[in-house]
Amino acid sequence: MPATATATVLDRAQLAAEGISTRWSTRVLRTLGSFGPLRPAEIADASPIPAGSLHKVTGLLERAGAITRLPISGSRRYELALTDAGRALGPVHAAALAWADRHLVGRTELEAPEAIDDAMSLFASPHTGSVLFELVASEPLTVPQLAERLPVGSTGILHHRLSVLAEHGLISRSGTPRTYRWEISEAGMHTGAMVRELSGWAERHLPSTAHPGSAARATSSVTAASGTDVVVVAAPSPTTSRTAAAELRRDTLRIHFSHAPGPQPAALLHSATAGPRR
Q: Report the pLDDT value the prediction gives residue 184, as an integer from 0 to 100.
A: 95
Q: Report the pLDDT value the prediction gives residue 7, as an integer from 0 to 100.
A: 67
**What does the DSSP assignment read for the chain?**
---EEEHHHHHHHHHHHHHH-STTHHHHHHHHHHH-SB-HHHHHHHS---HHHHHHHHHHHHHTTSEEEEEPTTSS-EEEEE-HHHHTTHHHHHHHHHHHHHH-TTGGGS-HHHHHHHHHHTTTSTTHHHHHHHHTTSS-B-HHHHHHHS--S-HHHHHHHHHHHHHTTSEEEES-TTS-EEEE-HHHHTTHHHHHHHHHHHHHH-GGGTS------PPPEEEEETTEEEEEE-PPPP-S-HHHHHHHHHHH-EEE----SS---S--EEE--SS---
Domain ranges of the chain: 4-15+119-271, 22-86
Q: Report the pLDDT value the prediction gives residue 208, as an integer from 0 to 100.
A: 67
Q: Report the pLDDT value the prediction gives residue 124, as an integer from 0 to 100.
A: 93
Answer whether 4-15+119-271 and 22-86 agree in fold. Answer: yes
CATH 3.90.1860.10 is right for the domain spanning 22-86: no
List the chain pLDDT tens, one digit each, 278 residues: 234 556 688 889 999 999 999 999 999 999 999 999 999 999 999 999 998 899 999 999 999 999 999 999 998 899 999 999 999 999 999 999 999 999 999 999 999 999 999 999 999 988 898 899 889 878 899 999 999 988 887 888 899 999 999 999 999 999 988 889 999 999 999 999 999 999 999 999 987 665 444 332 322 222 222 233 323 233 333 333 334 433 433 433 344 443 333 333 333 222 222 333 33
Name the pTM for this structure.
Answer: 0.75
CATH of 4-15+119-271, one of 3.40.50.800, 1.10.260.40, 2.60.120.10, 1.10.10.10: 1.10.10.10
**Max CA distance (Å), the chain:** 68
